[in-house]
C-alpha cells in the first residue's frame, strides 16, 4: 500500500528547534521524527511513500532521496498555498491515484500494529475509508468522531469548542481511503478557518452513503508538536527499543 505522509509543517510551537530544520526532521533518538514514523508504517504494510512538503522541503528530500537506502520508494510533492489537511492530501493526487492510500502525519508516533490494523480492517470491510480513533477526555484540539449503532463513522467535528464534548473519540491522524477520496477533496471549499479540511470531505462521503469504518487505537499515541513532546517521544521510543 502507498502512503501519503504530511510533512509540510514548520512547527511554530517548537521555537528555535525549527528555525533551520523542518519539524518532521527534528531528531528523536538520533533519527528524524518522520523516519521513525515511516519505518513503523513500512513494518505495518506500507510499501512506498509520497511526502507532502513545504517548509525547507529540500532538507527532507536531501535526507531521504528516492528512498532506496531506506528500503522503500519515496516521491515528493509540495503543498500549494492552500492550507489544511484536505489540500495537503489533494496535492498528492497525481502520485497516489489509482489505488487505495494511507494518510498519516509526519509528527504523530504510534506503534506498528496501529498501521497494520488500519490496513487489515480496510481490506476486510471493503469500505470507502478507515479512520483510526483514540479515546481522549476532550477532543477540542483534534477532531471529534461520532460512531453510530451499526459501527460506522457518522460524523466528524473538527476542533469542537472546548468543554462541549460531542464524543470522546478523537481522530488519531491515521487514515486509509479508496481513491474516491480525491474526488471529494477536489470539491472542497474553505472552512470557517479558511482551510481545506479533510473531515469535510469525509463527511460528504458519508452523507453520500459511502461507508467509513473506525479502527480503534490500542497502543501508544503521541503528537510530537512541542518541545516537551520531543522529550516524551524519546522516552517512548527508548521503552520500545527504537
pLDDT at 242 over 80: no
Say if CB 199 and CB 212 are below 8 A apart.
no
pLDDT at 216 over 90: yes
Calculate mean pLDDT across residues 85-98.
94
Q: Where are the domains of the chain?
A: 2-239
Report pLDDT digits (tens) over 51-60. Answer: 999 999 999 9
Q: Concatenate the DSSP letters of all residues of 132-193 into one string.
A: EEEE-S-GGGSEEEEE-TTS-EEEEEESPPTT--S-SEEEEEEEEE-TTHHHHHTT----TT
How confident is the model at residue 14, as a pLDDT? 82
Give, for 76, the enclosing helix (H) or strand (E): strand 73-78
How confident is the model at residue 13, as a pLDDT? 82
Could you tell me whether strands 2-7 and 48-53 are parallel, antiparallel, or unpaired per DSSP bridges? parallel
How confident is the model at residue 10, as a pLDDT? 82
The CATH number that domain 2-239 falls under is 3.90.550.10
Report pLDDT digits (tens) over 168-195. Answer: 999 999 999 999 999 999 999 989 888 9
User: Model confidence at 90, in pLDDT bands (50, 70, 90)?
Assistant: very high
Calculate mean pLDDT across residues 134-145.
95
User: Model confidence at 9, in pLDDT bands (50, 70, 90)?
Assistant: confident
CA distance 242 to 191: 39
User: Model confidence at 98, in pLDDT bands (50, 70, 90)?
Assistant: confident
User: Model confidence at 144, in pLDDT bands (50, 70, 90)?
Assistant: very high
Say if CB 168 and CB 214 are below 8 A apart.
no
CA distance 42 to 222: 19
How confident is the model at residue 196, as a pLDDT? 94
How confident is the model at residue 49, as a pLDDT? 98
Q: In the structure grid, which three cell numbers stand for residue 183, read together? A: 474526488
Amino acid at each position: 500500500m502507498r502512503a501519503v505522509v504530511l510533512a509540510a509543517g514548520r512547527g511554530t510551537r517548537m521555537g528555535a528547534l525549527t528555525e533551520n530544520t523542518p519539524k518532521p526532521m527534528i531528531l528523536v533518538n538520533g533519527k528524524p521524527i518522520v523516519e521513525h514514523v515511516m519505518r513503523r508504517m513500512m513494518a505495518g504494510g506500507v510499501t512506498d511513500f509520497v511526502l507532502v512538503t513545504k517548509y525547507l522541503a529540500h532538507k527532507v528530500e536531501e535526507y531521504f532521496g528516492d528512498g532506496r537506502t531506506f528500503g522503500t520508494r519515496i516521491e515528493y510533492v509540495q503543498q500549494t498555498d492552500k492550507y489544511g489537511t484536505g489540500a495537503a492530501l489533494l496535492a498528492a493526487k497525481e502520485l497516489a491515484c489509482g489505488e487505495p492510500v494511507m494518510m498519516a502525519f509526519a509528527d504523530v508516533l504510534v506503534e506498528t500494529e496501529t498501521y497494520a490494523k488500519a490496513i487489515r480492517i480496510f481490506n476486510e470491510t471493503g469500505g470507502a475509508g478507515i479512520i483510526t480513533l483514540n479515546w481522549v477526555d476532550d477532543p477540542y484540539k483534534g477532531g471529534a468522531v461520532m460512531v453510530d449503532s451499526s459501527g460506522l463513522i457518522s460524523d466528524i467535528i473538527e476542533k469542537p469548542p472546548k468543554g462541549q464534548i460531542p464524543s470522546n473519540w478523537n481522530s488519531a491522524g491515521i487514515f486509509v481511503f479508496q481513491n474516491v477520496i480525491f474526488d471529494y477533496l477536489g470539491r472542497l471549499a474553505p472552512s470557517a478557518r479558511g482551510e481545506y479540511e479533510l473531515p469535510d470531505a469525509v463527511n460528504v462521503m458519508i452523507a453520500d452513503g459511502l461507508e467509513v469504518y473506525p479502527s480503534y487505537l490500542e497502543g501508544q499515541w503521541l503528537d510530537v508538536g512541542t518541545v516537551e513532546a520531543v522529550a516524551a517521544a524519546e522516552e517512548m521510543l527508548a521503552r520500545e527499543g527504537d
